[in-house]
Structure 1
Amino acid sequence: MQINLANAQATRVLGVHLGQTLAAGSILLLTGDLGAGKTCLVQGIGEGLGITEPIVSPTFTLINEYEGGRLPLYHLDLYRLQPEEVKGLNLANYWDDAEYPLGIVAIEWAERLPEMPPTYLKIALSYAGDRRLVEFANVGGQLQLENLLANFY
């Protein structure tokens, strides 16, 4: 499924919709070039979850955890890492370990994951002229994209 967005504000609005709609345990694997809107989308997700603190890119911290919304948001950025380095982070803890409350896991530069989670929503962001193109793929799960995005259009 593909959606064309006019600008960064529309990307954020899509994120708000996802934050209001996604269920606990949702894993979002975000791909796209620098500046394509990955962090902007996650900022919207945080807003949609009701998180009031600023959502900032974890490029240097690798992982930011936000609570205080409808669900926790775990925001990861793998831009500065190689797949071998990512292995040592034990990221599967965010979706397999009872120590972490189920929330939304959003991973930027997900192509650097050495192993994919069993189920996830892949969101690829790209430029299409002066617009943004967002492509969704549901992998291994029962998520119905049409239902998830029904009230967004």
Structure 2
Amino acid sequence: MKIMLSNEQATLDFGARLASLLPEKALIFLNGPLGAGKTTLVRGLLLASGHQGSTKSPTYTLVEPYQLPSKSFYHFDLYRLGDPEELEYIGIRDYLDEKAICLIEWPEKGAGFIPEADLVLNLDYEGQARSIKLEPSDASWCQTVEQSLGY
């Protein structure tokens, strides 16, 4: 399923709609070039889940935790990861074992140390707009997402 996002607000809105569909535990990969809207999408998701502070890309810290009343979120950015083995040092398995939503930007940098995602979101440029392609691991969940998001 491919969705067109005309501007930043549309990306925030998509994240907010997606937030309402997420279970208590999920692994979500965010793919796309720099500036495609990965962190903006995460911001929309977190705002809709009750986060009131800023949302920054964890490019230098690797992970930003968000403990919210309804769910826990961990936002990873592996762009600057030198070696996938570094994920063992930050305790990646502990994060993934928790009842939380783990959102991982640049997941290919952690190949071999992170499992298959429940949902892959591929963001890309479409002229001045953006597109997002959803790839859920479960076909029935794909139908639920399509129907619920109204795209």
Query: Do these two structures clear the TM 0.5 threshold for a shared fold by scoring above it?
Result: yes
Letter in 2 for 1:57: S
Structure 2 counterpart SS, 1:151? helix
- 1:146 paired residue among 130, 134, 143: 143
Q: Which 5+ residue runs of structure 2 have no aligned equivalent?
A: none
**TM-score of the two chains, using structure 1 as the length reference:** 0.87
Alignment partners' CA distance in 1, 2:139 and 2:43: 25
Corresponding position of 1:90: 91
Corresponding position of 1:131: 129
Letter in 1 for 2:13: V
Q: How does 1:99-114 map to 2 (within 5 A)?
A: 100=98, 102-114=99-111
Alignment partners' CA distance in 2, 1:52 and 1:114: 33
- Deviation track 1:77-111 (CA, whole Å, cap 9, x = no partner) reads 10111334334433122222xxx3x1211011111
Alignment partners' CA distance in 2, 1:32 and 1:119: 15
Structure 2 counterpart SS, 1:21? coil
- Deviation track 1:50-94 (CA, whole Å, cap 9, x = no partner) reads 122222111111111111231011111101113343344331222
Q: Offset at 1:151?
A: 3.2
Runs in 1 of length 4+ with deviation above 6 angstroms? none
Question: Closer, same or farther in 2 for the Cα pair 1:145/1:91, shift >3 Å?
Answer: same
Letter in 2 for 1:109: W
Alignment partners' CA distance in 2, 1:84 and 1:95: 15
Aligned residues: 148
Alignment partners' CA distance in 1, 2:107 and 2:117: 13
Contact kept, 8 Å, 1:18 with 1:48, in 2: the verdict is no
Letter in 2 for 1:92: R
Contact kept, 8 Å, 1:32 with 1:38, in 2: the verdict is yes
Contact kept, 8 Å, 1:7 with 1:132, in 2: the verdict is yes
Contact kept, 8 Å, 2:16 with 2:46, in 1: the verdict is yes
Q: Which 5+ residue runs of structure 1 have no aligned equivalent?
A: none
Corresponding position of 1:122: 120
Corresponding position of 1:2: 2
Cα RMSD for the two superposed structures: 1.8
Contact kept, 8 Å, 2:30 with 2:106, in 1: the verdict is yes
Alignment partners' CA distance in 2, 1:32 and 1:74: 19
